[in-house]
Structure 1
Amino acid sequence: MKIISINIRGFGKDDNSESKVGWFRRLRLSERPEVVLIQESKCNRVDDKWIEFIWGSSNVRYLQKEKVGQSGGMLLLWDPNIVDVIDAVEGQFFLAIRGKWQGKINDTIVVNVYGPHKDDENKKFWDSLQGLMSFDNDEWVIGGDFIEVRSQDERQNSIFIERRAKLFNNFIEQSHLIEVPLLGKKFTKISDDGKKFSKLDRFLVSKAFINTWGDVSTITLDQKSLDHYPLMLRDSNQNFGPKPFKIFNIRLEIKEVEQIIIEAWNLNVFGSRPDCIFRNKLKNVKEALRKLSKFKYGPLDIELDKWKRATDEFESKAEAGMISDLERIEWLQARAMRLKKEKEKASMLRQKARLRWAAEGDDNTSFFHSMIPRNNNKLSIRGLHINGTWVESPDAIKD
């Protein structure tokens, strides 16, 4: 999945006398996005032939908002072979399509945003977007130039207006949206004189979108002569190898765990370097804990299902008046084991979701399940700056 967002500042001539139309065409053909969001196109009504030329093929559909005076204008383009669009909406400051990605079950709503500059239009804009979202619980992607920042550190050498930032953050929070991490850059707009920097462009997505696509991120593309960096939202699947050593807190409640860790750590290991020796010691501890966990607990879901079925059978018999005193004792034991396994599972889910839940007896398992992919996406390390260059290759990063 690839979605590109560009504030193109008009499809005219740039300082190098090379048409932005040609630059955009090459960008589209090299990256092959399924959807492109363009802000500040500064276009009057365009025709199919022109759209097919800039897209690089006839496999394209589009939605347009014409410029007002000498500014504004928006385009939303997509590949109909990959995205089957069933509906489209045009607002004062946005264009939106609703469709289904090839191979996916749920509908996705993609919104192209070019926010208002005037204060009196600001709140109306967020209200109109929130109103649009209230009609559906599908997967949402909202991208473009929002004209707003979320905090003071998203501006440098330019004025920060706290009131407008608060409205923007309230919209994101109330709409239950997640900002997709931007890799490699802090700002998305640079003034022509190189003095002012801002983060005005971004992608916001719903939890349902994260659940479908998993690990998603945003990268900047070649800026050319634009004052905004083009952004590309994509699903990422870098493989950094085995996950680091970790343990669930619930396992630390096992009485023998401390002694088992000490014994495993003290086993003789071999290695040519201290870091290799340290790694091999951790491997011994991990293997010892894995065996203990398997012996003490077994597969948690299987155990939980076993005790759940046992209590259900006892309760069915009790309702029919067919349970003896001995069976009642067995039912109490099965019920206690079921509650214990449910507590263990809830504890693991809380730890995976990296949240503390105030009411221990009121765990919302579906809530924790929804938070896990969200936090995994937010906390994933996808690359490093190496000598000033953004690098995502696992081999290069490990070296």
Structure 2
Amino acid sequence: MTKVDLWILRQLWGNTHFDFASSSARGLSGGIISVRNNKVFIRANITCNDNYIVVDGFWAPGNVNIRWINIYAPQDLPSKLALWSSLSDLINSWDGITVLMGDFNEVRDACERYGSVFSDRQANFFNKFINEASLIDIPLGGYNFTWTDKWGSKMSKLDHFLAFENFFEYFPHSKGIVLEKGIPDHRPILLKESQVDYGPTPFRFFHSWLELEGFHDLVTHTWNNDGIAHTNGLVLFKKKLQNLKKAIRELVGSKKSESYALKKEHQKRLSTVDEKIDSGLETIIYQVHHFSFIKGPISFFRMMG
């Protein structure tokens, strides 16, 4: 990453209510970017390094100070040891919640690596750092590995969410999930708390519905045969619209279910292949799947309230 394109960030984020920090690529190492909702997380300070971005601030929904550290660790051991030491200092110097996330380029146990040599020595250094810093490795559901080479012959769990021990006092229902890989070699990881119920979805009419098979017949039949009667014309009109809205919802819901079922059928075929690779049961030399209606996932860190 040499330059941050604000237009791309707006497209990925979905609106302009965000703030970001970035660390440019150096040599063969990729850059790092952290993006956050500036109405939910009030930034106080940013520190950038070749291997991490530190964002300190106030998390409004939980009324707590949080230090987010987005990490892209080096591969050689001396550089890793220097990074573990630097991160320990950052954790000890912060009076609040600390969350580390990203690509640590290291595994904790032999079961987290497949198809490549496991270094017990490097894993011990990593585990020592985690234990001495009083960090909790938040369990990740979903897939076993977060990184896969293009052939599916080598896999590792390199990405983690590490949180200071007081994290669950404020976010007791948090859980980590490894998402489907898609095109990149890393699978995205998601740290999620409880799901927020925003209430019923408001009714919106989309022009594309006019092209649905049977839409015009449905509107005509529903409007002319609803059996609704009322002496007040405005009340009658309102009730007929409410009934029509219900009928349209049912039709659109039915069409969406059909489309979703077809999409899930093809996604299941892709996931089956991905699961076999993840479990080490199959190595794919070359296989191409193209479904124009399936959007490829984008690896992107987003902090939401």
Same topology, TM > 0.5: yes
Kindly indicate whether residue 78 of structure 2 is the aligned counterpart of residue 117 of structure 1: no
Kindly indicate whether residue 154 of structure 2 is the aligned counterpart of residue 186 of structure 1: no
Measured in 2, the distance between the counterparts of 1:133 and 1:86 equals 16
How does 1:164-243 map onto structure 2 within 5 Å? 164-236=122-194
How does 1:326-337 map onto structure 2 within 5 Å? none
**Larger relative contact order (CA 8 Å, sep ≥ 6):** 2
| 3-state SS of paired residue (1:99) | strand
Q: By how many angstroms is 1:126 displaced?
A: 0.3
Cα RMSD, aligned residues only: 2.1
- Tell me the equivalent position of 2:298: none
- Cα distance 1:85–1:202, how it changes in 2: closer, same or farther (>3 A)? same
Q: Which residue type is aligned with residue 61 of structure 2?
A: G
Fraction of identical pairs, as percent: 29
Q: By how many angstroms is 1:177 displaced?
A: 0.5
Kindly indicate whether residue 29 of structure 2 is the aligned counterpart of residue 71 of structure 1: yes
Q: Which has the larger radius of gyration?
A: 1
Post-superposition Cα deviations, 1:231-286, rounded to whole Å, max 9, x if no partner, equal: 00011479xxxxxxxxxxxxxxxxxxxxxxxxxxxxxxxxxxxxxxxxxxxxxxxx
Measured in 2, the distance between the counterparts of 1:137 and 1:186 equals 33
Measured in 2, the distance between the counterparts of 1:216 and 1:176 equals 18
Counterpart selection for 1:150 from 87, 105, 108: 108
8 A Cα contact 1:62 1:75, kept in partner = yes
Q: Which residue type is aligned with residue 190 of structure 1?
A: T
8 A Cα contact 2:71 2:103, kept in partner = yes
- Cα distance 1:215–1:123, how it changes in 2: closer, same or farther (>3 A)? same
Counterpart selection for 1:87 from 34, 45, 48: 45
Q: By how many angstroms is 1:56 displaced?
A: 2.1
Q: Which consecutive unaligned segments of at least 5 residues does structure 2 have?
A: 197-271, 276-305
- Tell me the equivalent position of 1:139: 97
- Tell me the equivalent position of 1:28: none
Of Structure 1 and Structure 2, the greater helix share is in 1
Q: Which residue type is aligned with residue 85 of structure 1?
A: R
8 A Cα contact 2:59 2:66, kept in partner = yes
TM-score (norm 2): 0.62
- Cα distance 1:196–1:47, how it changes in 2: closer, same or farther (>3 A)? closer
Counterpart selection for 2:65 from 107, 122, 133: 107
TM-score (norm 1): 0.48
| 3-state SS of paired residue (1:103) | coil
Measured in 1, the distance between the counterparts of 2:142 and 2:5 equals 36
- Tell me the equivalent position of 2:260: none
Q: By how many angstroms is 1:134 displaced?
A: 1.4
| 3-state SS of paired residue (1:203) | strand
Q: Which residue type is aligned with residue 129 of structure 1?
A: L
- Cα distance 1:169–1:70, how it changes in 2: closer, same or farther (>3 A)? closer
- Tell me the equivalent position of 2:17: 59
Q: How many residues align?
A: 199
Q: Which consecutive unaligned segments of at least 5 residues does structure 1 have?
A: 1-42, 239-387, 391-399
| 3-state SS of paired residue (1:132) | helix
Measured in 1, the distance between the counterparts of 2:194 and 2:10 equals 29
8 A Cα contact 1:215 1:237, kept in partner = no
Q: By how many angstroms is 1:175 displaced?
A: 0.6
